[in-house]
């Protein structure tokens, strides 16, 4: 039964990803990406990563995509036709992508037929993740806050409009 | 007192450092005083060491180890001194005559701007020469050998602003080097054979070797080649006359009294090896005799004071080697000893003359200087008589001992030796008469400036003149009632040789024959001097100008048998031309091309690689992906 | 959620491996195909998410919670990166007035 859920979600993910690629309008691409993120959230839930699923939703679908939307709106990219790349280049890109997929899959295939490990009840919950986060990974956690400060400051400075003297 | 032996070479070295670094900052007097003092003190120390040495009969050599030097595997070489009869007497000559020349230079080089440099180099030379004679092994000898070659170069080219002098200095150094190769190979062979560089070890082992051993013969030939270069024998002698480009004190010190005698020292040092190689001894004898006669013939026709003396030096060195070849080591050393005094005297005297003549060196422009330069004249006369070999001056005893040995070997050799002596007497007295007698032939200005030299120059002349008179008495032969002190003194040095030959080194002639030999040679010399007097003083004959036509023989002699030109044509020019060819074909075409090619390759490749920078972000991303792909593929499919 | 935890079925890690590879390749293709830099940026996000899924899968299949913490940090970094990246893109847009990346050709030889 889980397998069916997996396949449905997987199809959704891949389909929405392809639509991101092939949409004409940037707004459509953003929306399809949001759908993709939702399906990924579903995958997380399947993997017992509850906390991660929610965080994914909030951060990615909620914050990042909204940011993208704002930027697209700022640039007024509603119905723009961007110049297309030459045909041969498109072919080359597709082939490269597929090649990459084959290589990756081939490299990682047959990794193991291990069954999933036995896990505790706390696995993947906020409590469980929090326990690990605040003990083993305390330092990166603190440093992450510095990272955010930097990003914020950087974004503000970069976004300022310079008054030309 | 042996504790202070290290001071003997150390003080001149300190003097060199002082003069080089501080010489410009202090006054000339200070420089001269320090330099001379630092040669005088070693002389005193040597004397102090020497005196107890004489009193002990058959004294043992004093070995003074100093520092460890090389210690690799089985090879151990140390800095150490060996003070024995030979080295002590050489040290006396080096420091004694050296000191007198330092004092002389204070006066002679007075107006020169390189004053401090001159004394620095002189001190350095004394240092190296002392190392040469004081060392107890061949490596120290070699250090000294090369060092004196270096100082010779520095001093010959002292007035470096003149290109010709530089060339002369180069010539001296390069010819020395040719000989040095022989010396070096000889030293290598010595190590191969004896596994040691120490003289004592070699003397110890050599006694058991058979006479005529091929390795020993090769060693001695190679060592002799080194001596040929350093002591200006045929064929490597042409540098010595050219070396007269240096200041006169340099000629006196280096090219008369000390450096050129290093070859003689070397052979006396290794006398035991030479006794084991009669073949080499024959070669040495013939080369020495040939040099003596060859140079003497050239000297007959030279018109530059210093050149005459230079060829005379070559000739006298030839006599020393002649004696060495005959096995008369003591006689050779005796001649070295006396020669140091009267040759230094003659050179310094000529320096005094040149100084008075405001730099003029051509005999044909001098004359009648007897009145203007009394002291110089008198001491020069003594030197001339000494070199001519008239008793009781020093030259007579030493030359006579050589000639006696020659006669004992073969009478014809004696005749040739006497021939050389006659030529020596002739050209020396020609020099004397042309310089000091007759009427003055120079310019008016020169006549105006004629003056006797200052005391700093004349006092050494006087001292050397005294030595030229009495130095012969160290080895008066039995036949004249003397105790031949030097022969006895050197006996322990030649112990090995004596043992091998199983007979006395000094070959015995009957007293009658000796009297006849002595008498006839003296009479012949007097006759020659008389002839010279008539020709140059009474008849006032002056050699003709270069422009006037000369007979073939005259031209041959005055152009020094064209030896320089021959060497140039056969050796120098082909080498230079060959080098030019190598430059043209190999250096420019091949090596330059390769080197430049490397640069070209870099430029070309960067010009091609430039096209990767399309500025197109899409292309860059594409390249990144391809790269990541390749790495992944290689990684996973190769393991 | 509990009953899901126990039942896993025939799902192995390979499924997630393939899913992740396909998603990643799609992201790469998107980067190569499109000329609008906003879309390119979004495809980069897609790639990041593909990796996230894989990490979470490995975390689950080996029972080690550190994998999830890693995903957490990747999201952190992605967020910061998007913020700054978009700021830069806005600035670029202000200067070149178009969203075509081929317009940025000043570094051409």
Domain that holds residue A16: 1-79
Give me the mean pLDDT over the B40-57 stretch.
84
pLDDT band at residue B505 under the 50/70/90 scheme: very low
Q: Which pLDDT does position B44 carry in this prediction? A: 92
How close is the nearest chain C Cα to the Cα of A57, in Å?
11
At residue B504 the predicted structure's pLDDT band, cuts being 50, 70 and 90, is: very low
pLDDT of C82: 94
**Residue written as token pair 């040099």:** B291
Q: What is the pLDDT of residues B512-529, one digit of tens each?
A: 888 888 888 888 888 888
Q: How much is the pLDDT for A1?
A: 76
Residue B15, H or E segment = helix B7-22
Residue of A72, A93, A147 with shortest CB distance to C80: A147
For residue B270, give the nearest of B167, B175, B195, B198 by alpha carbon. B198
Which A-chain residues 104-143 have CB contacts (< 8 A) with chain C? 104-105, 108-119, 121, 123-124, 128-129, 131-133, 136-137, 140
Mean pLDDT value across residues B614-639: 85
Q: Chain B residues with CB inside 8 Å of A103's CB?
A: 629, 632-633, 636
What CATH number is given to the structural domain containing A51? 1.20.120.1200
The tens digit of pLDDT for each residue in B300-344 reads 888 888 999 999 999 999 999 999 998 888 889 999 999 999 999
Q: Are B489 and B85 spatial neighbours (Cβ–Cβ below 8 Å)?
A: yes
Distance in Å, alpha carbon of A113 to nearest chain B alpha carbon? 19
Domain ranges of chain B: 1-195+226-258, 342-544, 563-638
Percent of chain A with pLDDT over 70: 91
Does residue A43 contact residue C53 with C-beta atoms inside 8 Å?
yes
Q: C7-42 b/e with 16+ CB inside 10 Å = b?
A: ebeebbbbebbbbbbbbbbbbbbbbbbbbbbbbbbb
Contacts of B68-77 with CB under 8 Å at 24 or more apart are B69/B139, B74/B195, B77/B137, B77/B139, B77/B197
Q: Do A100 and B622 touch (CB under 8 A)?
A: no
pLDDT digits (tens, 9 = 90+) for B265-290: 999 998 888 888 889 999 999 999 99
- Predicted pLDDT at B290: 93
Q: Which of B172-186, B292-306, B610-624 has the lowest mean pLDDT?
A: B610-624
- The distance of B169 to chain C (nearest Cα, Å) reads 60
The mean pLDDT of A59-70, rounded to a whole number, is: 92
| Distance in angstroms (rounded) separating the CA atoms of residues B58 and B412 | 35
pLDDT, greater one: B56 or B28: B28
pLDDT at C74: 95
B549 touches chain C (CB under 8 A): no
Whether A35 is in a domain gets the answer yes
| Cβ neighbours for B40, distance < 8 A, ≥ 6 positions apart | B95, B99
* CA–CA separation, A39 and C56 (whole Å): 14
For residue B564, which of B235, B293, B291 has the smallest C-alpha distance? B235
A90: CB partners within 8 A, 6+ apart: A84, C33
* Cβ burial B454-491 (10 Å sphere, 16+ → b, else e): eebbbbbbbbbbebbbebbebbbbebeeeebebbebbb
Q: Give the side-chain half-sphere CA count within 13 A for A100.
A: 26
Residues B493 and B269: their CA atoms lie apart, in Å, by 8
Please report, for residues B618, C35, C97, the alpha-carbon distance to residue B623 in angstroms, rounded to integers and kept in the order given.
9, 16, 27
Q: Are B373 and B352 in contact (CB under 8 A)?
A: yes
Residue C31, token pair as written in the block: 């980067």
pLDDT of residue A104: 83
Q: Residue by residue, what is the 3-state secondary structure of C32-93?
A: HHCCEHHHHHHHHHHHHHHHHHHHHHHHHHHCCCHHHHHHHHHHHHHHHHHHHHHHHHHHHH
Residues 58-87, chain A, touching C (beta carbon < 8 A): 59-60, 63-64, 67-68, 71-72, 74-75, 77, 80, 82-85
Q: Which residue of C has its CA nearest to A88?
A: C33
Rounded to an integer, what is the distance from CA B423 to the centroid of its chain?
Answer: 23
Predicted local confidence at residue B328, as pLDDT: 86
Residue pLDDT, tens place only, C89-108: 988 888 888 888 888 888 78
pLDDT given for residue B395 in this prediction: 86
What are the chain C neighbours of A159 within 8 Å (beta carbons)? 87, 90-91
Q: What is the pLDDT of residue B434?
A: 87
Task: Select from C56, C44, C45 the least CA-distant residue to C19.
Answer: C56
555-614 in chain B: CB under 8 A from chain C: 610-611, 613-614
Of the candidates B267, B287, B261, the one whose C-alpha atom is nearest the C-alpha of residue B223 is B267
Contacts of A117 (CB under 8 A, 6+ apart): C60, C61, C62, C63
Q: How confident is the model at residue A123 (pLDDT cuts 50, 70, 90)?
A: confident
Question: What pLDDT score does B256 carry?
Answer: 77
* Long-range CB contact pairs, B163-169, < 8 A, 24+: B164/B245, B165/B245, B165/B246, B168/B239, B168/B242, B168/B243, B168/B244, B168/B245, B168/B246, B169/B243, B169/B245, B169/B246
The CA distance from B551 to B65, in Å, is: 61
Structure confidence at residue B545 (pLDDT): 65
Report DSSP letters for A130-155, one per residue: HHHHHHTTHHHHHHHHHHHHHHHHHH
| pLDDT at residue B369 in the model | 84
Partner-chain contact B629 A103, CB within 8 Å: yes
Apex CA B505: angle with CA B215 and CA B273, to 5°?
15
Task: Quote the DSSP letter at residue B452.
Answer: P
Residue B412 has pLDDT above 80, yes or no: yes
Cβ-nearest to B615 among C28, C32, C105: C105
- In chain C, where the domains are located: 12-98
Q: Provide the token pair at C57.
A: 């899968």
DSSP state of B537: I
Distances (CA, A) of B151 to B63, B121, B337, B599: 27, 6, 22, 44
pLDDT score at C5:
46
Question: In the CATH scheme, what is the code of domain C12-98?
Answer: 1.10.287.3510
Task: Report the distance separating Cα A33 and Cα A21, nearest Å.
Answer: 9
Q: Are B229 and B182 in contact (CB under 8 A)?
A: yes
Burial class (CB in 10 A: 0-12, 13-18, 19+), B551: exposed
pLDDT one-digit tens code per residue, B433-454: 888 887 787 777 777 777 788 8
CA gap A52, C60 in Å, rounded? 12
Q: What is the pLDDT of residues B186-195, one digit of tens each?
A: 999 999 988 8
User: How many whole angstroms separate alpha carbon B420 and alpha carbon B289?
Assistant: 9
Task: Write down the pTM of the prediction.
Answer: 0.71
Residues B375-399 pLDDT 10s: 889 999 999 999 998 888 888 888 8
Adjacent-strand bridge partners of B68: B78
Provide the pLDDT for residue B213: 84
- CB nearest to B626's CB, from A96, A104, A106: A96
C71 to chain A: nearest residue by CA?
A52
Q: Select from C31, C34, C51 the residue whose CB has the most chain B CBs within 10 Å, as the one to mutate to test that interface.
A: C31
CA distance B529 to B537: 11
Smallest CA-to-CA distance from B402 within B391, B390, B418, B386 is with B418
Nearest to B616 among C28, C32, C102 (CB): C102
Contacts of A163 (CB under 8 A, 6+ apart): none
How confident is the model at residue C35, as a pLDDT?
A: 83
Q: Pick from A85, A107, A108, A110 the residue to mutate for testing the B interface (most B CBs within 10 Å).
A: A107
pLDDT at B20 over 60: yes
User: Across residues B537-542, what is the average pLDDT?
Assistant: 72
Cis status of the peptide bond prior to B235, with omega within 30 of 0: yes
Q: Any chain A CB within 8 A of the CB of B625?
A: yes
d(CA A32, CA A17): 7
Its ipTM equals 0.86
**Dihedral over Cα of B9, B13, B18, B24: its sign:** positive
Rounded to whole angstroms, what are the CA distances from A134 to A129, A142, A151, B382, C69?
9, 10, 23, 111, 10
What total number of domains does chain A contain?
A: 1
For residue B83, the cross-strand partners are: B62
**Other C-beta atoms lying within 10 Å of the C-beta of residue C77:** 14
Which residue of A89, A92, A103 is in closest CB contact with B632? A103
Q: What are C32-81's pLDDT values in tens digits?
A: 888 888 999 999 999 999 999 999 999 998 888 899 999 999 999 999 99
Are A107 and B622 a contacting pair at CB < 8 A?
A: no
- C-alpha distances (whole Å) from B622 to each of B444, C28, C30 are 98, 9, 11
């Amino acid at each position: 039964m889980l397998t069916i859920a997996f396949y449905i979600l997987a199809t959704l993910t891949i389909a929405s990803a392809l639509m991101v690629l092939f949409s004409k309008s940037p707004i459509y691409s953003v929306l399809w990406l949001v759908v993709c993120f939702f399906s990924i959230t579903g995958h997380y839930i399947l993997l017992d990563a509850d906390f991660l699923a929610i965080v994914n939703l909030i951060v990615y679908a909620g914050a990042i995509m909204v940011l993208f939307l704002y930027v697209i709106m700022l640039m007024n990219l509603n119905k723009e036709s961007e110049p297309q790349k030459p045909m041969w280049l498109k072919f080359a890109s597709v082939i490269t992508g597929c090649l990459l997929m084959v290589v990756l899959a081939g490299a990682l295939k047959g990794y193991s037929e291990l069954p999933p490990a036995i896990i505790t009840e706390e696995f993947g919950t906020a409590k469980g993740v929090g326990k690990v986060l605040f003990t083993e990974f305390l330092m990166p956690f603190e440093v992450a806050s510095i990272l955010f400060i930097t990003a914020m400051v950087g974004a503000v400075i970069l976004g300022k409009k310079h008054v030309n003297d | 007192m042996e504790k202070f032996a290290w001071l003997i070479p150390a003080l001149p070295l300190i003097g060199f450092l002082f003069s080089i670094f501080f010489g410009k900052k202090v006054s000339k007097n200070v420089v001269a005083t320090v330099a001379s003092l630092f040669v005088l003190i070693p002389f005193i120390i040597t004397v102090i060491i020497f005196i107890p040495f004489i009193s002990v009969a058959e004294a043992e050599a004093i070995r003074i180890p100093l520092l460890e030097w090389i210690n690799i595997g089985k090879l151990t070489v140390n800095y150490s001194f060996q003070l024995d009869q030979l080295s002590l007497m050489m040290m006396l000559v080096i420091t004694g005559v050296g000191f007198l020349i330092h004092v002389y230079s204070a006066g002679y080089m007075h107006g020169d701007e390189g004053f401090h440099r001159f004394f620095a180099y002189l001190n350095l030379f004394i240092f190296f020469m002392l190392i040469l004679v004081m060392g107890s092994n061949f490596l120290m000898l070699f250090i000294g050998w090369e060092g004196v070659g270096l100082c010779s170069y520095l001093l010959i080219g002292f007035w470096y602003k003149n290109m010709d002098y530089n060339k002369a200095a180069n010539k001296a150094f390069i010819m020395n080097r040719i000989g040095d190769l022989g010396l070096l190979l000889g030293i290598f062979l010595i190590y191969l054979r004896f596994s040691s560089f120490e003289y004592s070890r070699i003397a110890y082992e050599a006694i058991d070797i058979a006479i005529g051993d091929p390795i020993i013969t090769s060693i001695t030939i190679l060592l002799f080649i080194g001596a040929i270069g350093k002591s200006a024998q045929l064929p490597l002698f042409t540098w010595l006359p050219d070396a007269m480009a240096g200041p006169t004190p340099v000629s006196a010190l280096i090219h008369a009294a000390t450096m050129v005698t290093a070859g003689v020292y070397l052979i006396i040092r290794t006398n035991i090896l030479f006794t084991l190689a009669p073949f080499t001894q024959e070669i040495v004898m013939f080369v020495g005799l040939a040099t003596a006669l060859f140079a003497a013939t050239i000297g007959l026709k030279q018109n530059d004071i210093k050149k005459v003396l230079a060829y005379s030096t070559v000739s006298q060195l030839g006599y020393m080697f002649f004696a060495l070849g005959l096995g008369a080591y003591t006689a050779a050393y005796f001649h070295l000893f006396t020669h140091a005094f009267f040759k230094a005297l003659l050179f310094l005297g000529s320096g005094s003359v040149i100084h008075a003549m405001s730099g003029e060196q051509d005999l044909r422009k001098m004359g009648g200087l007897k009145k203007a330069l009394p002291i110089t004249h008198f001491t020069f006369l003594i030197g001339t008589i000494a070199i001519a070999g008239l008793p009781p001056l020093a030259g007579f005893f030493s030359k006579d001992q050589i000639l006696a040995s020659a006669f004992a070997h073969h009478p014809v050799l004696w005749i040739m030796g006497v021939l050389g002596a006659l030529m020596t007497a002739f050209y020396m007295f020609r020099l004397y008469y042309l310089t000091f007698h007759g009427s003055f032939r120079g310019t008016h200005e020169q006549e105006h400036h004629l003056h006797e030299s200052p005391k700093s120059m004349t006092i050494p002349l006087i001292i050397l003149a005294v030595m030229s008179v009495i130095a012969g008495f160290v080895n008066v032969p039995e036949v004249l009632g003397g105790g031949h002190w030097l022969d006895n003194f050197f006996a322990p040095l030649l112990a090995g040789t004596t043992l091998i030959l199983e007979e006395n080194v000094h070959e015995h002639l009957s007293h009658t024959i000796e009297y006849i030999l002595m008498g006839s040679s003296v009479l012949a010399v007097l006759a020659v001097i008389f002839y010279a007097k008539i020709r140059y003083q009474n008849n006032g004959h002056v050699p003709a100008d270069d422009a006037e036509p000369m007979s073939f023989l005259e031209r041959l002699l005055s152009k020094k048998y064209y030896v320089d030109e021959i060497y140039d044509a056969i050796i120098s020019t082909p080498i230079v031309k060959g080098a030019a060819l190598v430059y043209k074909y190999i250096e420019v075409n091949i090596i330059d091309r390769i080197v430049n090619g490397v640069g070209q390759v870099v430029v070309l490749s960067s010009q091609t690689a430039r096209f990767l920078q399309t500025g197109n972000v899409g292309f860059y991303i594409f390249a990144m992906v391809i790269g990541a792909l390749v790495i992944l593929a290689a990684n996973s499919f190769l393991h | 959620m509990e009953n899901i935890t126990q039942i896993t079925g025939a799902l192995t890690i390979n499924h997630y491996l393939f899913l992740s590879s396909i998603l990643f390749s799609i992201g790469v293709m998107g980067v190569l195909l499109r000329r609008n830099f906003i879309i390119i940026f979004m495809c980069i996000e897609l790639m990041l998410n593909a990796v996230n899924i894989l990490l979470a899968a490995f975390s689950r299949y080996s029972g080690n919670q550190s994998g999830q913490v890693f995903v957490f940090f990747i999201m952190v970094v992605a967020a910061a990166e998007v913020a700054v990246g978009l700021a830069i893109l806005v600035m670029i847009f202000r200067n070149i007035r178009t969203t075509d990346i081929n317009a940025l050709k000043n570094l051409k030889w």
